[in-house]
């Protein structure tokens, strides 16, 4: 059957219309896909922005904490540097004091040794009373001065004590017994020491008296006229009678 021109035209128009509709349908699908992808992309971007904002906040907090820690350690470093400087200064001062202490200790020891030597010489030349006790005391002081484990203060105390004891002898009167040699004769006598003025002796029977003669450095016998005076002196030293003024023989002080 032959188609007319109108039929052909209609068919052509229908075909074109169907083709256009197909094209529009395809464009709508593609547009829908594009919109969908755009929305998804936007959502992902928004999510990543939120994640980055959270991460950024965390990083800023860590940065602030790190800066605060750095500032703290800087201040601590400055403090410790000042503390170390103060300790160094203190150590230097202690070292200086140690050197000075050693110097003073050596100087003190030399002085104490010299004083002890003079004290020993004085005792040797002094009136002969309690000689064993006095020499033993000086020997103890010299032993203390030689000990490295004794401090300077302890050594000074020992020397001062010895000096004090010797000084006290000058204000004390005492009576004690001792054996002495008088003109090659051994006599057991009561010794009457009157400070450092003199030392007198009296036999137990009260018949003989004498004193230590400094000039001759020996014991001598006195005249019988001094017997009563020496007896009175002994009684006063023993506190058997009240103190009174009496005349005592002093003998020669120097040769």
- Look at residues 169, 188, 217 and tell me which one is the last residue of a structural domain: 169
Note whether 51 and 164 are same-domain residues: yes
Same domain? For 163 and 186 the reply is: no
Range of the domain at 75: 47-169
In a domain? residue 7: no
Rounded-to-integer distance, Cα 116 and Cα 80, Å = 51
Terminal alpha carbon distance of the chain: 190
Domain membership of residue 31 (yes or no) is: no
Q: Looking at the structure, do residues 91 and 113 belong to the same domain, yes or no?
A: yes
Taking 70 as the threshold, does the pLDDT of residue 144 lie above it? yes
What is the dihedral angle through the alpha carbons of 110, 114, 119, 125, rounded to the nearest 10 degrees? 160
- Tell me: do 69 and 164 sit in the same domain: yes
Considering the domain boundaries, does residue 35 fall inside one?
no
Instruction: Judge whether 235 lies within some domain.
Output: yes
Residues 185 and 154 in one domain: no
Task: Write the pLDDT tens digit of every residue in 76-101.
Answer: 888 888 888 887 888 877 777 766 66
Q: Which of 147, 169, 191 is the last residue of a domain?
A: 169
pLDDT level of residue 134 (50, 70, 90 thresholds): very high
Q: How far is CA 190 from the centre of its chain?
A: 54
Question: Total domain count for the chain?
Answer: 2
**Tens digits of residue pLDDT in 27-71:** 667 777 777 788 778 788 888 888 888 888 888 888 888 888 888
Q: Do 183 and 239 sit in the same domain of this protein?
A: yes
Answer whether residue 60 is part of any domain: yes
Give the per-residue pLDDT at 13. 63
CA dihedral 169, 171, 174, 177 (to 10 degrees): 30
Backbone angles phi, psi at 41, to 5 degrees: -60, -45
């Amino acid at each position: 059957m032959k188609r007319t021109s109108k039929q052909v035209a209609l068919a052509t128009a229908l075909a074109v219309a169907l083709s256009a509709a197909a094209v529009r349908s395809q464009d709508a699908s593609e547009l829908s896909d594009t919109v969908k992808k755009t929305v998804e992309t936007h959502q992902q971007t928004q999510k990543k922005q939120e994640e980055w904002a959270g991460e950024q906040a965390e990083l800023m907090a860590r940065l602030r904490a790190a800066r605060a820690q750095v500032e703290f350690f800087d201040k601590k470093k400055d403090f410790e540097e000042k503390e170390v400087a103060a300790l160094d200064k203190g150590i230097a001062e202690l070292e200086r004091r140690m050197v000075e202490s050693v110097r003073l200790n050596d100087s003190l020891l030399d002085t104490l040794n010299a004083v002890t030597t003079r004290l020993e010489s004085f005792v040797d030349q002094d009136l002969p009373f309690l000689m064993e006790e006095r020499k033993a005391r000086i020997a103890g002081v010299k032993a203390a001065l030689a000990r490295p484990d004794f401090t300077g203060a302890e050594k000074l105390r020992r020397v001062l004590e010895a000096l004090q004891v010797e000084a006290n002898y000058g204000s004390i009167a005492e009576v004690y017994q001792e054996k002495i040699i008088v003109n090659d004769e051994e006599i057991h006598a009561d010794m009457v020491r009157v400070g450092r003025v003199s030392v007198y002796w009296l036999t137990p029977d009260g018949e003989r008296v004498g004193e230590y003669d400094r000039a001759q450095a020996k014991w001598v016998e006195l005249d019988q006229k001094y017997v009563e005076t020496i007896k009175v002196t002994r009684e006063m030293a023993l506190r058997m009678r009240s103190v009174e003024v009496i005349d005592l023989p002093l003998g020669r002080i120097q040769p």
